[in-house]
Structure 1
Amino acid sequence: MFKVNDYVMYGSMGVCKVIGISKEKYIDGEEIECYVLQTIYKNTMTIKTPVNNPKVLMREVMTKDDVLSLMDIMAKTETVWIEDDRQRSANFKAALKTGKSEDCMLIIKAMYQKKENATGSKKLRKMDEDILKAAEKQLYEEFAIALDIQPEEVVPYILNRIS
């Protein structure tokens, strides 16, 4: 169970802070214990979600040591580019839904390698760009909290670490 002031990854919303735990009455009169979450970056909003909600992915934010270890592992990890657009999109979207930082990092690495290896005026497809933005948002927000930096400082931090 999370405590007040814990940082959590909450579904596709990204990093949230637990600002309270409350009892909420539902239509059927049942009282359910809920986390009161506040998004951290952009569009600050408050979210209430049942403590025991198996449908929503909610986990602890990685520690600094976890982040540094993941960076080191990912620097040595090979990625595979799936040529079929539909299959690639489905695989990347499924990876995003896991909420795992490792999956986001693999998506980002694969996309950057594809961009780097593109010839001429070839760019990533719009669907790839959208998936890349979602993966970057999710990963950079979590890394920023763990490393005590701003999300826009994450890429330079990673580049400095792996070079």
Structure 2
Amino acid sequence: MLKIFKPTYMVEAIYHITPEQLREQKIKAVLTDLDNTLIAWNNPDGTEQLIEWINVMEEAGIPVVILSNNKAKRVDRIAKVLHLDYVSRALKPTTIGFKRASKKLNLTTDEIIMVGDQVMTDIWGANLSGVRSVLVKPILDTDAWNTQFNRFMELHIMNYMIKKDPNMRWRKSINDESRIK
């Protein structure tokens, strides 16, 4: 039942994902959630570490696309600063945004990966879409008011899944003992 919330990988932060790891997994593009995955939800300008990671991906020819449930106006402002493409109003966990992103990239679902900090939107949506997923720790311990209920539910879901599967643990790489079984 809760298998739909299970990520393919669990990595401490998006910055730990490298082009080499992605190539090993035959991944050609990264979809990423915005708030608390790519940027702190209350700091839309990002960090030097983020800019460096985006540049490394760009130099490797791996597109990074923001896949966010936020309104276009908010996502566009951040995407311009970071020089990234985006799909706003993705309606995660539905497959709508994933399909739009896949079409925009002209890639199949097995050639992309979704990185996000929430199992009830990012991971669930990726699983429904047939996209491999990476759960990352949220950048901040606090959330916007509209995410707090999901966090409460996710705590129980994650605790249950970790109890049932000791292989579910934080790693430094998507290739560190690879997939969660």
Using structure 2 for the length normalisation, give the TM-score.
0.28
Structure (1 or 2) with the larger CA radius of gyration: 1
Identify, as 1 or 2, the structure richer in strand: 1
Higher relative contact order, chain-length normalized (CA < 8 Å, sep 6+) = 2
